[in-house]
Amino acid sequence: MAFCLKSGFGGNLFIKKALFLIILTILMSLSVAALPYTIEKVKVDGIEVNGDRAHLEIGQNVDVEVFAKGNSSEPRDVNIRVWVGGYEYGDLEAVSDLFDIEQGVMYREKLTLSVPDDLEAGDNNYTLHIEIYDSEDKVEKTFALYVEETRHLLKILDVKLDPKISVDAGKKISAIVRVKNVGAKKEEDIKVVFKIPDLGIVDHTFINELVNEESNADEENSASTEKIYLDIPEDTPTGEYNAVVEVIYDNGHEVAKEISKILVNGKSEEEKKLRESTKIEVEDPSKKIEQGQEGVFKISLANDGTEAQLYEIKVVGAKLWAEEIRIEQAFMRLEPKDEKAAYIYIKIKEDAKIGDQSFFVKILTDQTLIREIPLVAEIQPKKTETEVAKEAAKEETETSDGITGNAIRTGESDFSWLKAGFLILILFLVIGGGMLLVRRLKESDEHPLEPQEGKTYY
């Protein structure tokens, strides 16, 4: 009897468990069937994720593909949202446009998550959320994430264009580019290219190296380039152009790019004509000038046109280091085929920075810029009183030596003239004496016996 009771008890327990599982399965089936839509499959960067972790790289764009199926007999207007929480400055998310989901139809939506370069990998405690929702219902699936630093990754932090928005044809535009290493590896020989492809102009510079942000080394993990200049061609038509910056690294395998818009103001036919007919000559575009002293630059203008022109000369870019700027002939009227010179006097400040200082001279006529000429003041340190005294003594010595030398040369010259005069005098005496002797001999032959008065003969 005990055996039968035991067997009966065990059989009832088994039946109960079986019934519970059947009921749970039915309920789950009913629940699923009751959902208006379901998430059938998810791919991250082309790889289907299921029970495994999805992989993300810091600083990269990640493509998330969501496959959804409609279950409701009535169409629903839904959105799909993918997001990751835990980022310091807010959720990382991407949301699809609103679309209709029909019963029995599979839909594929591709969304892109931008993973910031300052996302902390840390303990990798991140979750990828996939949601489909409408105004009434929401279905969600979650996947664990494995976040990893990108081995090679440089980021363009800033591009500083000068001028920022527009530039005149025939002038220069420059770019300063700031770059940061947000990857796991040190980068070397980083090439930074600045170009306007539609105009066929390009130039570049290099950043020697940038270490990883986590590195304890003394080197920098971010740096700015020197100015990279481009000359806008004179004949560039007015229009908007792409100014492109490329950072090439990892032995040329990786490229970071940023595109800015720049407006080029083309020149009119009248401006081109004026520019071509004005000839400009700079005597010396670079001069050495001491602190506190004044230097002068000479600029000659010639009017090769057929009409008289009134020119204006302006100096820009020298106020920080120049105490005074004077222009002799700041305004000049030139008739056809006429030529004149202007003189620009620049006095350097006593405390001006030593080294080359660039500035520009603008040539205008009727408020139209004809030419912008770059000049350089090579600022030299001010001489001390001792150095000034030494130079003065040296000049005095050279002057004294010059006077003495002139005196010596004058004496030598006088002596030469005296010597020549003496020789000429002797020559005349010899010739005169010879002629007198011949005359006396002739007289002796004519009167050989007659004694000559005043003479004693033997």
Domains and CATH numbers, the chain: 34-148 (2.70.50.60), 154-267 (2.60.40.10), 270-380 (2.60.40.10)
Contact 308, 334 (CB under 8 A): yes
For residue 352, give every residue at least 6 positions away whose Cβ sits within 8 Å of its Cβ, in sequence order, or none. Answer: 291, 321, 322, 379
pLDDT of residue 419: 64
How much is the pTM? 0.52
Contact 300, 339 (CB under 8 A): yes
pLDDT of residue 439: 62
Question: Distance from CA of residue 129 to its chain's centroid?
Answer: 43
pLDDT of residue 23: 67
pLDDT of residue 179: 95
Write the DSSP assignment of 348-401 as a string of letters: EPTTPPSEEEEEEEEEEETTEEEEEEEEEEEEEPPPPHHHHHHHHHHHHHHHHH
Pairwise CA distance, residues 210 & 258, whole Å: 19
Instruction: Please give the angle made by the CA atoms of 397, 402 and 407, to the nearest 5 degrees.
Output: 130
3 state SS of 277: helix
For residue 117, give every residue at least 6 positions away whose Cβ sits within 8 Å of its Cβ, in sequence order, or none. Answer: 58, 59, 153, 155, 182
What phi, psi does 357 have (nearest 5°)?
-125, 120
Token readout for 429 is 């005496």
For residue 162, give every residue at least 6 positions away whose Cβ sits within 8 Å of its Cβ, in sequence order, or none. Answer: 173, 174, 175, 176, 227
Residues of the chain with pLDDT under 50: 1-9, 30-33, 407-408, 410, 444-458
Pairwise CA distance, residues 320 & 334, whole Å: 33
Contact 265, 281 (CB under 8 A): no
pLDDT of residue 448: 44
pLDDT in tens, 370-427: 888 889 999 999 887 777 777 777 766 665 555 555 544 545 555 555 666 667 777 7
pLDDT of residue 387: 72
3 state SS of 295: strand
Contact 227, 161 (CB under 8 A): no
Radius of gyration of the chain (CA): 49
Pairwise CA distance, residues 312 & 356, whole Å: 26
Bridge partners (DSSP) listed for residue 112: 63
Pairwise CA distance, residues 275 & 26, whole Å: 89
Sign of CA dihedral 276, 318, 165, 192: positive
For residue 310, give every residue at least 6 positions away whose Cβ sits within 8 Å of its Cβ, in sequence order, or none. Answer: 331, 332, 333, 365, 366
pLDDT of residue 180: 93
pLDDT in tens, 319-335: 999 999 999 999 999 99
